[in-house]
Chains A and B, each alone.
Chain A
Amino acid sequence: MAANPMYQFNVYRIGPEIKINNIDISFTNASLFMVISSLAILIIFNLGTKRSIIPNKIQLLAELSYSFISKMISDTAGSKAKPYFSFIFSLFMFVLFCNMFGMIPYSFTVTSHIIVTFVLAAFIFIGVTIIGFIKHGLGYLKLFVPSGVPMVLLPLIVVIEIISYLSRPISLSVRLFANMMAGHTMMKVFGGFVVSLGIVGGWLPLGFSVALTGLEILVAFLQAYVFAILTCIYLNDALNLHH
């Protein structure tokens, strides 16, 4: 029943069951919203590539997002991170659009699933580690040995650094997933209160719901931004080793 606040996170098959080598890769509602988000990004940014000197609104939007992310990358990871711009741009836009499409009632939030965010975070983690080892060789391991630490504390610090490094994908993925899930659950709970309290008492939770919608839109943007900027920071560690 739809009254369960967790019901909105259910994944169900759309269309026939697709199996390759006994692995289920059916098209689900999650897949649908991934496709919708990607298509929306592509359409909007493709409309924003008109070659006019004075941009129209969509072009302005596209160019502003371009310079926004470009500035974010150069601010946090320096000029060496230029080659990774397209990846971070796609990442930010994908997360942002998935979050935003999740704000439409009765839609599905792709990023509220730990597996999706974890795959993204794990990919970033592995990619950043590989980049770090390619750029600095075994010298990348110096990341775990901060300079200026007394020898006595060093074993402890190194262990802490390694744990914190290894927990990066988990913290990155759980942050996004938990924010999305908590927000949507809360909105659903308040929506349930509105229905159950009816026309007499439903106004208060309705007001909360409206306020929460605004908050959730902010969180949707903020979490996409945080996801992208943390990627930039990890990239910065890999590119400019200065511990």
Chain B
Amino acid sequence: MLKKIIFQFLALSLIFTYSAQSAESGGMPQLNPEFWISQIFWLVLTFGLLFIILSKFILPKISNNLETRKSQILENIETADKQREETEKKVKEFDKIINDTKVEAKNFFNSERQKVLDDINNKRLSLEKDIEKEIIKAEEEIDQLKKTSQEKITKIAIETSSDLVKQLIGEDINKSSLSAIVEDLSKKEMEKHNGI
């Protein structure tokens, strides 16, 4: 039922459209020369004005803009290249400076260490010499002391023995004979001491 209605509607509308369109077939308005002159006139006028304004005022500006942009970009690229080169140079310089300073620092360190080592060596040598001298001196002193001490001991021994004898006996004894005896005794004692 619904289908039938739709089909009828479609058929009717098609017929109506056809009749409406065929009723006023006036051909192509394009071929009606009534307004040809007017169209040509306005076409020449508008297109001519458009061409003149575009070519005189607008297009030169656009091309100018494009040119300036192009040149600006080229310029920028150039300056960027220059700056990059400069930075590379600077980086090289910087590296060189760092290397130089490193070498310098190493040299300086080495020389200073050498100096310090030399200094230490010298000081040690002089110290050793001093110590040797001191040792020799001390040995000499000891030797001297050994010699003098014997005499002193003998002397003291003689004096003490004379004093002892004096207190024991109550009279003075000849010092030379006493000393001879003491020397003799001490010699024997020394020999006993040293001989063993």
| Residues of chain A whose beta carbon lies under 8 Å from any beta carbon of chain B | 1, 3-7, 9-11, 13, 23-28, 30-31, 34-35, 37-38, 41-42, 45-46, 48-51, 53, 55, 59, 62-63, 66-67, 85-87, 89-90, 93-94, 110, 112-116, 119-120, 177, 181, 192-193, 196-198, 200-201
Contact = CB atoms under 8 A, between A and B. Distances in A.
Contacts, number: 157
B20 A1 contact: yes
A197 B58 CA distance: 50
Q: Is the interface of A mostly helix, strand, loop or mixed?
A: helix
Interface residues of B, number: 48
Given A41-B54, A46-B58, A87-B51, A24 B30 contact: no
A49 B65 contact: yes
Interface string B19-34: 0110011111111101
Given A6-B27, A24-B35, A200 B51 contact: no
A6 B51 CA distance: 31
Contacts of B94: none
A34 B54 contact: no
Nearest to B53: A42
Interface string B48-88: 01110111011101110110110010000000000000000
Given A53-B72, A192-B21, A25 B41 contact: yes
Contacts of B51: 86-87, 90
Contact of A31 (B6, B39, B61): B39
A181 B30 contact: yes
B24 A24 contact: no
A30 B39 contact: yes
